[in-house]
Each structure stands twice: as structure tokens, then as C-alpha cells.
Structure 1
Amino acid sequence: MSDTNLPNTEEFRDKARAAMVAMRSVFPATPLMRNDHLSDKYDADIWLKREDLSPVRSYKLRGAFNAMRRARGATLFVCASAGNHAQGVAFMCRHFGVGGVIFMPVTTPQQKIDKTRIFGGDMVEIRLTGDYFDDTLAEAQAFCAEEGAHFLAPFDDDDVIEGQATIAAEIEAELPDGADLIVLPVGGGGLSAGMRSYFGPDQAIKYVEPSGGMSLAAAVENGGPVTLNKVDSFVDGAAVARIGARPWDRLKGIQRSDVLAAPEDRICITMLEMLNIEGIVLEPAGALSVDVLDDIRDEIKGKRVICVTSGGNFDFERLPDVKERGQRYSGIKKYLILRLPQRPGALKDFLNLLGPGDDITRFEYLKKSARNFGSVLIGIEVKQASDFDGLFQRLEDGGFTYRDITQDTTLSEFLI
């Protein structure tokens, strides 16, 4: 670990503890709760640090609080965000009684705009600009330069990192014996940098990124931050193309094996499991730490593990899409393009091949590809993934031609 750039651990802990104490005038410590369901499932002692239960349903207000209290004399704060950081900054602007201008992409869902406005009240102005976040960020920074405002970065800021480390201070206060392993979600790296700075390099930590946005893994492999060519935006709270420079200074030296990938569609299954079994609402980024437990099942058996559930700002209008993606990942739902003969009884012949538990969820003629045949888009849901083996065999035996487009990203996005 000689190539780390961690601050003096005791000094950093003292500052984080002081920030934690100061925060108590704003909101109580978030619960650290043992989860019986996950503990039984993985034969381990699983605890959840419930940042989804903060006043803004994410940990982002911690960094905003600490950075704003440190910015003495500043009366106008600016941030660029389409999500949790915006809400945290808005909440703290109202708390400190200072002005805030929050830049959000034009494409930001109305629900997030409304929540940010509610948290900030009269102290915050929201400006919608840019179709993409990079454009929004450029506008925010240009505004800061013109107006002399204080820019609040979501993760690439030492005071923000220190503020996120208050999570570690709360864990230490409640569980003095600590944990064998801490599992953290990673976006820009502010939370991870704060936790590692507080506990030091000897604390075992797993860092979880969405498969479509592994900027920390790329930095570890390349020896420094690199910008990803493409990022899947589904896990919007952690889909970051480049790890922050300041977080990286504190994270370099970690092992590549400690950076885990969580597939976006599998995260959907985890979200639904936590909602249906535990009644816990997690956004995609908030479910990252729980999602990878199955990947490290053998490693955590019999050990105490703390998972930070970083946020619960989930728009329930997305629930059908989450369910759909989860079903497709687990293999119980597929989409086929079927070449159906244009003759009386052809559809009935196809339907007779379905099993008793097979359900057609979509049926749409696409076009007539030939005089005697038509192409049909069919969605089929089965009870268990292995049921498709029998169905496909029956289709082939019956002379039906089909194409499974479930994993064909281009076709499925266009047709489904």
C-alpha cells in the first residue's frame, strides 16, 4: 500500500467526527441495521447503513453540508446535477440560509426537479440547460466564473470527501468492533475515498461499480483516471465516466480484485427483492452493495459485513422497466421474432406449442416479409428459465423459424 496518498488517519478521523457532531443539528444519524433476510441468505452477519433514510434519501447532503460550512463568507453556491447531489445542495442552502443556483440538464425528469425545488424552497434557483451533463456542467462553471459563486463539486472536493466520511464515523460509533468487510457503491469516488481515508488501508473494502460505468476499475488498471468511451446511464447515481482526481489520490493502491461489477439488469432483481421482501426502496445505485453479495458469498460466510445503501430516490414510474429488465436477466422472459405462415390455423398451431405456464406478454405483426409469411414480435414469460429449452425444441420440431432478440441490444431497443 506504499503508493497510497491517504491523509493522516487520526487527523482525518478527528475532522470527520467533528463534522458528524455538527450534522446532528441538521439531521440524525442514519440507521445501521442488521438485516435478517440477507444474513440468512448468505450465512453471514449482514448490516445495512441506511443512507436511503436520510432527509433527502441519499448520503449526498453530508458532503454538501461539510463543504458549505467550510466555505466561510460564501453567499451563493452553484452545482450541476440531475439527481441526489442537487437535492443535497438544495437542502443545505435552505438550512444555511444562503442562495443556490442548481443547473440541471433539460432532460432531467420532472420528479427530480420538483423534489430539488421543494428541498431548496425560496433559497434555490433551478436552471435547465444542456441536453447532456457535460454541457450542463460547463454552463454552471461559466456562471461561477462570472458571478464569483462557490462551485460545489459532487465528489472531486476534499471537503465533500470529508463530509461523506461521516458515514464511517457513525458506523464506528455504533459498532466499535467494526466489520470484517465494508461494501461500498462507487460513482465519482467521494464516498469511497472518505471511507478509506477514515478506516485506513487495513480495513477490507469492496468497491462496487455498475458494469456499464467502471471508471474506478479502469483507473486501477491504467494507474490513473481515464475517461470511459461509453457509459450506461441506467444506474444514474453511479454512472460516472471518470473517477474524480481527488478521490483517486486516496484510492490508488487498492487491488483490482476488490473492485466488483454489478450488471445493470441484475441490479433490477436486487431492487425488486429488497422492495418485495424487506419493503426497502432503493434506487439502482443504492442497490449496488447488496447486489454483489452473491458474487462474494463464499468470502463473506460467517463474517460481519456492512453494505452502504447509498440512496432511495427511485421514481416508481420506472418500476415496469426495472421488472422487465430483471425478468430478462433471470431468463424467464424473452422476445422472439417469429416467421409465421400466412395460412388459416398457423397461429393456433403456434399457441398449441406453449407450455401450461407460458404467457404471451406481447404479440405484434411487424411486416410481411414474403407473400406467404409474416414476421411477428412475441414476448413470452415462463415460470422458470429452463422452460424455454422445451419451448424452443417444440418450435423447431414444428417447423417454426424464430430469432431470439432478447440480448440483441440494437433490435430490442428499437422494437421493445
Structure 2
Amino acid sequence: MSDFRSDARTATQAMRDVFPATPLQRNVLLSERFGADIYLKREDLSPVRSYKIRGAFNAMRKQPDQDLFVCASAGNHAQGVAFMCKQLGKRGVIFMPVTTPQQKIQKTRMFGGSQIEIHLTGDYFDDTLAAAQDWCASQGGHFLSPFDDDDVIEGQASIAVEIQEQLGRAPDHVILPVGGGGMSSGVATWFGDDVHCLFTEPQGGACLKAALSAGRPVALDRVDTFVDGAAVGKIGEKPFSLLQNTPAPDVLTLSEDRICTTIIEMLNVEGIVLEPAGALAVEALGDVLSWIRGKTVVCVTSGGNFDFERLPEVKERAQRYSGIKKYLLLRLPQRPGALKEFLNILGPEDDIARFEYLKKSARNFGTVLIGIETKKPENFRRIFDRLDSSGMAFTDITNDETLAQFLI
């Protein structure tokens, strides 16, 4: 432990030649809401808007004689590696899936400049990763894993070093998002028993929870890629070796829709842009009230590389989770005045967000897809009661994943 802490301090000091420490900011809104001193460790304010620059820097720093670095990534890791290639004068070859949004490709290119080349290969990340590793083996470069690498883990531990220095002491709790486990294992290992570390994962990528249950890293059957910065199908071997004794209650799993509520609130109220993975730690505060009241808590906001083209989807998911937006399949009688009767069911706080006939061929009834937004979730009880009283048949499909994929 003493060697790891010392090495992480050395890495942190070396980073200061390239980029400053990210801010540790007390958040008044969250502190008052949860009755605790809540600080945000703003990794979203690093030069590449995520903590990935730390691991990339440290791993490359420890390979001074290596001129070629290879990685596979569709996002933050690619940008961290590209930035450091330009800073250190190294050559980088970055493999990205063909499906990677142009915004991410352009940012990676901007950070790396002439020091990097980008290969678009494979529709899925596993195919991209295999192509990158094969290319690296044939060319003799150093493959830089985003998380399953001792030097990367040590570099990410610099977050803990900075927290302690900025706060002047160890916090009571640190809440860490988990993807492949590089950052969470590094920070938790550096703090050791001095700090209670809590780990949070998206429901569709709960690879730490699965590994703890199995006693080893296991591949998830399915991964929901919405929380792309933490949507990892299998935690790294090296990170898991450091996290394998984590108590099960210390691992929190949050739904993707729920995470969206924090993204929207942080943006609208605080002016903080967080990507889905970056919002994980903040949203988890609501699940640990009994532990954190009156304590000092640090939430690591791991990244802010948010594509604003996703904002309508994020808002939609947040509204659905909060219960203020629902989608119904409504059987509407095919007669004059029927639509007006339905509209009279709605109250002053209700609004129609979508109205689409799905089937009008029946003589007596037509099926309508209708989206309703309202101010308070309890308003839907009134709407449903009025629909029942009027004899209008309806089905709430808001949480029906299969229908939602095709219709919403």
C-alpha cells in the first residue's frame, strides 16, 4: 500500500507539468438537500473533459522508450491517449468502431493532431478491440488498455491524491462510478481503510456486481450502452483483484432513466454538463442517506463529454422516470366528438406531446398512440380514472421496452 500511495503521488506531481489539478467544489444544492458536505471532484473539467487523461499520461510516462501506442476506444480513452501523444511527441494509433459519432472522432483528431491516426473498424467494440490488439501485435507497439493496466490504475489514483490535498484531510465517503474498474480501484486502493468508498454502476452494465457475485470477472449477457462511459461488459482482471473484497451493499446499481434526471438537473440548475457516466455518483446520493448525513462526501463526476444531440432522449427518459410523461395506446371511438371528449379529460397541467393514429381501418374504433406530459405524477391517476369512467380503453406502454423501441 505504501508503495502504491508513493507512486501515485509521484504520478500526480508529474502530471502538473501537463495539466492542473481538477477542481474540488462544495455543492450547496446537494449539501442542503442531503444534510451533508457534498463535494464534486470535477473530472469533467480536465483538458479532455474526463479522468482518462490521467491513466494515459502515467502509462505513457512509464514507457519513455516506446514511440508507438495503440488503443481501442469510442470515447474518453481515445481522447486521453490522443492528447498525451501530442503532448509527449509519441505516435498513436487509435481504433474506433465504425458507428462512433463524428463529434467524438473529430475531438480525438483535434487532441492528437498529426501525432495520431484513427482506424474505424467494426460495428461493435469487441470487434474493434480485437482489430486493435492484432494490429499492435503485428506492428510492435504498446497496447494501452483503458482500465486493465497497473500503470493506468496508478494514474487514475491521482484523483485520490488531489482530493486529499484539496480537502486538507480524507473525506468520510467517496462515491465512484464503475466501468472497467480502473479509476474506482485506483482511488479505493489509495484511500484504503481511511475512507468508505461506494461504487455505482448503470443497471445495464453492472459488471462489478456480477463479478462480486461470481467471485471473478464474468461477461454480462447483455450491455445497455446508454451510459457509454461505464457500459462495460466485463470488469478488468487487475481492477477486480483490488476490489474483490468490496461488501455487496457498497455497490449501487442505478437505472439508465434515473441517471437522466441528474444530467438534466445539473445542466438546468447548476450549469454543469455531465455525460451519463459522469452523473452516476451524484445520482447515487439518494441511496445512501443514512450513511452520509452530517458527513463529508466526495462525488467523482468522471466526465462531461456529452453530445447535445442526445439531449432530447435524456429529457425524455428523465420525464418518464419521474412519472410526468407517459405513453398510452388509446382505443378511440370512430364517431364525431370522440376526440373532443378525450381532450376534456385532460386538466390544465396536462399537455399532449404526441398524437398518432396507428390504425384507422376498423369501422368502430381506431388505435391512437398518445404521449402526455403533466406537471405532477399524481395527475395521471386522475386522467386514468376519467378514461375508465368514460369507457375509453387504454394501455400504458411507458415501461414496455419492446413496444417503446418500435413506437416511441
TM-score bracket relative to the smaller structure = over 0.9
Deviant stretches of 4+, over 4 Å? none
Aligned position for 2:141: 149
Read off the aligned partner of 1:23 and give its amino acid letter.
Answer: M
Shift of 1:376: 0.6
Shift of 1:202: 4.4
Give the alignment partner of residue 303 of structure 2, picking from 298, 301, 311: 311
Name the SS of the counterpart of 1:370 in structure 2: coil
Give the alignment partner of residue 321 of structure 2, picking from 318, 329, 335: 329
- Cα distance in structure 2, aligned partners of 1:83 and 1:143: 20
Conserved? CA contact 1:369–1:375, under 8 Å: no
Name the SS of the counterpart of 2:368 in structure 1: strand
| Residues 1:394 and 2:371 are matched in the alignment | no
Name the SS of the counterpart of 2:168 in structure 1: coil
Aligned position for 1:200: 192
Conserved? CA contact 1:285–1:310, under 8 Å: yes
Give the alignment partner of residue 374 of structure 2, picking from 368, 372, 382: 382
Name the SS of the counterpart of 1:200 in structure 2: helix
Read off the aligned partner of 1:141 and give its amino acid letter.
Answer: Q
- Cα distance in structure 2, aligned partners of 1:352 and 1:168: 58
Aligned position for 2:132: 140
Give the alignment partner of residue 53 of structure 2, picking from 39, 56, 61: 61
Residues 111-260 of structure 1 correspond to what in structure 2 (within 5 A)?
Answer: 111-260=103-252
Read off the aligned partner of 1:54 and give its amino acid letter.
Answer: S
Shift of 1:369: 5.7
Give the alignment partner of residue 286 of structure 1, picking from 272, 278, 292: 278
Aligned position for 1:4: none
Conserved? CA contact 1:35–1:46, under 8 Å: yes
Read off the aligned partner of 1:173 and give its amino acid letter.
Answer: E
Shift of 1:194: 0.5
RMSD of the alignment, in Å? 0.8
Shift of 1:72: 2.5
- Cα distance in structure 1, aligned partners of 2:164 and 2:317: 37
Conserved? CA contact 2:170–2:195, under 8 Å: no
How big is each residue's C-alpha offset from its partner over 1:152-210, in whole Å with a ceiling of 9 and x where there is no partner?
00000000000000111111112232111010000000001101221114421000000
Give the alignment partner of residue 337 of structure 2, picking from 342, 345, 368: 345
Aligned position for 2:312: 320
> 195-204 or 336-345: which moved more?
195-204
- Cα distance in structure 1, aligned partners of 2:138 and 2:170: 47
* Identity within the alignment, %: 66
Aligned position for 1:357: 349
- Cα distance in structure 1, aligned partners of 2:384 and 2:206: 36
- Cα distance in structure 2, aligned partners of 1:196 and 1:411: 41
- Cα distance in structure 1, aligned partners of 2:33 and 2:268: 15
Conserved? CA contact 1:212–1:263, under 8 Å: yes
Read off the aligned partner of 2:333 and give its amino acid letter.
Answer: P
Conserved? CA contact 2:82–2:112, under 8 Å: yes
Read off the aligned partner of 1:323 and give its amino acid letter.
Answer: K
- Cα distance in structure 2, aligned partners of 1:36 and 1:10: 35
Name the SS of the counterpart of 2:48 in structure 1: coil
Shift of 1:277: 1.1
Shift of 1:297: 1.5
Aligned residues: 408
Read off the aligned partner of 2:218 and give its amino acid letter.
Answer: V
Conserved? CA contact 2:170–2:194, under 8 Å: no
- Cα distance in structure 2, aligned partners of 1:346 and 1:112: 49
| Residues 1:48 and 2:51 are matched in the alignment | no
Aligned position for 1:76: 68
Aligned position for 1:5: none
| Residues 1:300 and 2:292 are matched in the alignment | yes
Aligned position for 2:264: 272
Aligned position for 1:19: 11
Shift of 1:298: 2.2
Read off the aligned partner of 1:219 and give its amino acid letter.
Answer: A
- Cα distance in structure 2, aligned partners of 1:213 and 1:21: 33
- Cα distance in structure 1, aligned partners of 2:245 and 2:111: 38
Read off the aligned partner of 1:30 and give its amino acid letter.
Answer: T
| Residues 1:411 and 2:398 are matched in the alignment | no
Conserved? CA contact 1:215–1:240, under 8 Å: yes
- Cα distance in structure 2, aligned partners of 1:394 and 1:33: 48
Read off the aligned partner of 2:38 and give its amino acid letter.
Answer: I
Shift of 1:220: 0.8
- Cα distance in structure 1, aligned partners of 2:39 and 2:306: 22
- Cα distance in structure 2, aligned partners of 1:399 and 1:242: 50
Name the SS of the counterpart of 1:248 in structure 2: helix
Name the SS of the counterpart of 1:140 in structure 2: helix
How big is each residue's C-alpha offset from its partner over 1:205-251, in whole Å with a ceiling of 9 and x where there is no partner?
00000011110011111111111001111000000010100001111
